[in-house]
Structure 1
Amino acid sequence: MAGSQDMFDAIVMADERFHGEGYQEGYEEGNSLGIIEGRQYGTLHGAKIGSEIGCYQGFAFAWRCLLHTCTTEKDSKKMKALESLIEMIQKFPYDDPTYDKLHEDLDKIRGKFKQVCSLYVSL
């Protein structure tokens, strides 16, 4: 009778055992796929941010070369804003994705870029 009781318990408990095993397998596969998908997402958005910052940097370097010989007071204000933009770009933490103020600093760079653009519209 004890053997039939063990067999009955194994049948009754099979559902719970398979549920636990299925959960564990699904969790492990989901975790693995999540890491892969997270890396792809991070790479894509990191490339977009890098491209945007590179565009701002190229703009700033080109204008710095163009205004290098200008010495009027109006041009010195433009150069000061331009140098501020370049400094912000150079301090941007490209290789630290865990930097907690990354988006805040990026927004500041965007704002400074817009300010510099508005100064150069009058040329």
Structure 2
Amino acid sequence: MAAPSSSYDMFDEIVMAEDRFHGEGYQEGYAEGSHAGAAEGRRCGCLHGARVGSEIGSYLGFALTWQHLLPKCTDDKNSKKMRALDSLIGMIQKFPYEDPTYEKLQDDLEKIRGKFKQVCRIKLLFLAQNSIAFCKYFISFCSQSKNALSQKFPKR
């Protein structure tokens, strides 16, 4: 009786070899895929994080530059501009750079982008209002310079 059971085990190994190889291949593939996926995820995360950091940094640089350029007047127009800039700077400073698992990261980023667009609209109005005055100043400066040069170096 021992002989039939050993022959049964031999055939069982042959018949089940495909299932065994399939299971081993699956385990090897899963381990390799997990390793490759983690490496790809890390690379993608670093790239996306660098882009977000660059974007936020440019917004902060823009806001700080305009904060220093705007006159420190207390009139309503400039105070609205300053409040918008201060709000943008505050939002950027509160942004969670070190916590990529922060639940509202994308929401906060969208709010910063929206505030930046609002500040840009305010700045465009400011530039449009002041560009006329600047053009008049530049034209008068050029004509004064031309007159001064013509007096210093008369035509022969």
TM interval, short-chain normalised: over 0.9
Q: Deviations over 1:50-72 (max 9, x none)?
A: 01000100000000111153443
Distance 1:86 1:19 in 2: 57
Structure 2's unaligned 5+ residue stretches are 127-156
Aligned to 2:134: none
- Is the aligned partner of 1:120 residue 2:123? yes
Aligned to 1:14: 17
Distance 1:91 1:28 in 2: 39
Aligned to 1:102: 105
Q: Which amino acid aligns with 1:4?
A: S
Q: Deviations over 1:17-36 (max 9, x none)?
A: 11111111111111111111
- The one of 26, 29, 33 equivalent to 1:26 is 29
Q: Which has the higher contact order (CA 8 A, sep 6+)?
A: 1
Distance 1:68 1:24 in 2: 67
Q: CA deviation at 1:7?
A: 1.3
Q: Which amino acid aligns with 1:20?
A: G
Percentage identity across paired residues of the two chains? 65
Q: Which TM-score applies when normalising by structure 2?
A: 0.75
Quick check: which has more Rg, 1 or 2? Answer: 2
Distance 1:59 1:68 in 2: 16
Q: Which TM-score applies when normalising by structure 1?
A: 0.95
Q: Would you say how many aligned residue pairs link Structure 1 and Structure 2?
A: 123
Structure 1's unaligned 5+ residue stretches are none
- The one of 85, 88, 91 equivalent to 2:88 is 85
